[in-house]
Amino acid sequence: MNNNELIVIALGGNALLDSKSKGSIEERERAADKTAEQLHDVLSSDFRVVLTHGNGPQVGNILIQNEEAASKVPPMPLDVCVAETQGEIGYVLQKSIQNDFRRKGIDKQIITLLTQVVVDENDPAFSNFSKPIGPYYNEEQKNEILRNKKDWMFAKDPAGKGFRRVVPSPKPIKINETRIISDLLNNNYLVIAVGGGGIPVYFNSEKNETRGVEAVIDKDLASARLAIDLNVDKLIILTNVDYCYINFKKENQIVLKDLNLDEANTYIEQGHFSAGSMGPKVQAAVEFVTATGKKAVITSIERLNDALTGKAGTVIHP
């Protein structure tokens, strides 16, 4: 590959920690090594790249640690937990990419940037707690928690696994560190940013200060916001399938290789993309294409190279 295009590549949290893993550092490092190898051709090329990533499994583990150790160590609020996962995942992934570069003689620098994402404190999401996080609880455990933490809210799992805490998931408005990221890219750094959707913050105008907030931001929507703010040439959203589908895994399944905005919006309105998986990815792609007039691609990490040459993935365009 030989291209000076600026691209954002959004990795899923499971690309760095499989949902079946116990979460040991050895498992995380093996997953990161594999991801670094799969990304090698793109990252070692002339593309200017920002990597973003999810943090679902990792922040869930931190929340479990919070609960288990609460009697000995004060638990941290959710924005701090997201910041912890940014540092943790960024370090492991950065190290794997550095080692991959070193083994293959690539002279390129990489940096992980703690990234704050601004939300509106009046976002309707703060009145509609909808994003499940952390471990499952039975009803007795849930009631015990509510006796001590009356501000928590829970939702029953549709699959019958128990109850999970739910928190707001507000829309990202802007990325605080966009100018810093742009400067790093202009100096040929590979940047890891907006980890886990970014640390959710809002601006308190009365006190002229930034404050963290108990919420999580969808990582694909945050990646799209960053891609818009940076005016990148292409947004690549990686998931565990090669394409988007309608009627997924049914006899009448149809693969979607090329969608214009009208088609993508129609499929969203018809409910073909579930809120827990493909929905936010397609919505993020639509928001990027609408704002920039450029293309977004949704595909798997295994087909990334093909997707960048137009040979794989669902392309969403004006």
Task: Tell me what the mean pLDDT of segment 224-244 comes to.
Answer: 96
Residue 259: pLDDT band (50, 70, 90) is: very high
Please indicate whether residue 20 is annotated as part of the active site: no
Identify the active-site residue in 12, 56, 142, 281. 281
Strand bridging mode 48-53 / 6-11: parallel
Handedness of CA 95, 97, 101, 107 (dihedral sign): negative
Identify the active-site residue in 12, 13, 56, 60. 13
Torsion angle, alpha carbons of 275, 222, 309, 267, to 10: 30
Please check whether residues 38 and 180 belong to one and the same domain. Answer: yes
Please check whether residues 153 and 108 belong to one and the same domain. Answer: no
Beta pairing partners, 191: 50, 111
Number of domains in the chain: 3
- Tokens for 51, please give them: 């990597």
Please check whether residues 140 and 258 belong to one and the same domain. Answer: no
Q: Where are the alpha helices (DSSP H) in 149-250?
A: 178-186, 219-230
Which is more confident, 16 or 250?
250
Please check whether residues 85 and 217 belong to one and the same domain. Answer: yes
Please check whether residues 99 and 5 belong to one and the same domain. Answer: yes
Please check whether residues 204 and 307 belong to one and the same domain. Answer: no
Handedness of CA 179, 184, 190, 193 (dihedral sign): negative
Domain boundary, last residue among 186, 210, 232: 232
Please indicate whether residue 281 is annotated as part of the active site: yes
- Tokens for 77, please give them: 């609020």
Please check whether residues 218 and 144 belong to one and the same domain. Answer: no
Please check whether residues 262 and 195 belong to one and the same domain. Answer: no
Residue 158 structural domain: 129-167
Please check whether residues 17 and 155 belong to one and the same domain. Answer: no
For residue 29, give Cα distances in angstroms to 275, 277, 306: 30, 25, 26
Please indicate whether residue 14 is annotated as part of the active site: yes
Please check whether residues 70 and 49 belong to one and the same domain. Answer: yes
pTM: 0.92
Task: Tell me what the mean pLDDT of segment 13-39 comes to.
Answer: 82
CATH of the domain at 203: 3.40.1160.10
**What is the structure's pLDDT at 147?**
85
Please check whether residues 318 and 212 belong to one and the same domain. Answer: no
**What is the structure's pLDDT at 14?**
61
Please indicate whether residue 150 is annotated as part of the active site: no
Task: Tell me what the mean pLDDT of segment 131-156 comes to.
Answer: 85
Please indicate whether residue 131 is annotated as part of the active site: yes
Please check whether residues 163 and 279 belong to one and the same domain. Answer: no
